[in-house]
Structure 1
Amino acid sequence: MKKIGILGGTFDPPHYGHLLIANEVLNALGLDEVWLMPNREPPHKQKSQAVSNEDRLRMLELAIQDHPDFKIQPIELEREGKSYTFDTMTLLKEQFTDHQFFFIIGADMIEYLPKWHRIDELVRLVQFVGVERPNYSHQTDYPVQYVDVPAFDVSSSMIRDRLRKGKTVRYLIADSVLRYIEEKHLYGT
């Protein structure tokens, strides 16, 4: 049975924090792969409308191109409407019957678990894997396996803000992603 980590997000843009989390969980749990799963419409927050799904997907491809165990799972981009994890994981479990899924979340999402759509059923479909995030608690009544990840306090919103203000984002995102952002004039560049 293949062990697959799932790291969902808007990846708007993808940054080294995403890749650090994926790599640490991959190695700590001995996973076969980590699938990065960009969502179309996250139910818990507004997605930036400035960047197309195609641009987010291309930036993610560029960000992971050098890691053989990172793959992109576009299932949520291919569906209309809000991306509920329960619906997505139900489809993935039907499609990949020989896979065990580990759904990777940050401490901000651990706090939010009681509000997740059909959470009591979802915890039977996947093993949640929690990682630390500054200024968030990881206390929950739900079954979450924890992986220590070195602190790297970066977010996509912080990167978008820095780009709009003309500040450097070097060593926060891959050079190939930055070149793409600049070529496409994304985020006010």
Structure 2
Amino acid sequence: MRKKVGLLGGTFNPPHVGHLIIANEVLEALELDEVRFMPNKTPPHKQMDERVSEEDRIGMLSVAIDNHPKFQLELIEMERNGKSYTYDTIKLLKEREPKTDFYFIIGGDMIEYLPKWYQIDKLCQLVTFVGVRRPGYSVETSYPVRLIDTPEIHLSSSLLREKAATNGTLRYLLPDQVIAYIKENQLYEPRTGITDCERADH
């Protein structure tokens, strides 16, 4: 029997309730066996915020998903060097798990960006894209994307980092465990000369 696994990639800097809601909605809608949260090591089109280490991004994600039995961590991109191209990642996962069907979850912003993805035509043969709507973005595409209706929640990670840096409230925006992790490890403290960039994967 084949296994059905969702993949939700991102920097997760920090992981917020929007990530969790999307993952859970897709899990239920497609009757997946699990959803794996896959943090990027080096996204192809994003400047990373150097204030937060890879270990801390993994740590925040671990506590965020800890209480959901069908949420897992997938660290394949963290274990590799170089840019995290989805095509290379999926090829490796398919080689490791030939009896697994992968469903790659993307938001409306990434649906618009699909024509620019590395080896997109080959990638479409390896994975099923699952699209969720994001306010302000079109979901029209010539590529095969299975659309799932989910609550449209748009949370900017850069805004959340800014709120954390200025001691603004994060309640109901991040899981309580993530808020506690940020405070305990003093993450996102202000530092001059660093610019937060919006997420733009692949």
Residues 53-103 of structure 1, C-alpha deviations (whole Å, 9 max, x = no match): 000001000000000000000000010111000000000000001100000
Secondary structure, aligned partner of 1:188: coil
- Number of the residue aligned with 2:117: 116
Task: Quote how far apart the aligned CAs of 1:165 are.
Answer: 2.2
1:23 correspondence with 2:45: no
Secondary structure, aligned partner of 1:62: helix
- Number of the residue aligned with 1:56: 57
- Number of the residue aligned with 2:156: 155
Task: Quote how far apart the aligned CAs of 1:141 are.
Answer: 0.7
Bigger helix fraction:
1
TM-score, L = length of structure 2: 0.92
Structure 1: how far apart are the matches of 2:45 and 2:25? 25
Secondary structure, aligned partner of 2:142: coil
Secondary structure, aligned partner of 1:104: strand
Q: Which amino acid aligns with 2:150?
A: V
- Number of the residue aligned with 1:141: 142
1:95 correspondence with 2:96: yes
Structure 2: how far apart are the matches of 1:61 and 1:118? 30
TM-score, L = length of structure 1: 0.98
Structure 2: how far apart are the matches of 1:146 and 1:19? 17
Q: Which amino acid aligns with 1:122?
A: L
Give the percent of matched residue pairs that are identical in Structure 1 and Structure 2. Answer: 58
In 2, are the aligned partners of 1:37 and 1:74 still within 8 Å (CA)? yes
Residues 116-141 of structure 1, C-alpha deviations (whole Å, 9 max, x = no match): 00001000000000000011111111
The farther-off stretch of 137-146 and 161-170 is 161-170
- Number of the residue aligned with 2:200: none
Structure 2: how far apart are the matches of 1:165 and 1:101? 39
- Number of the residue aligned with 1:43: 44
Deviating beyond 2 angstroms after TM superposition, the runs of 4 or more aligned structure 1 residues are none
Structure 2: how far apart are the matches of 1:84 and 1:158? 26
Aligned length: 189
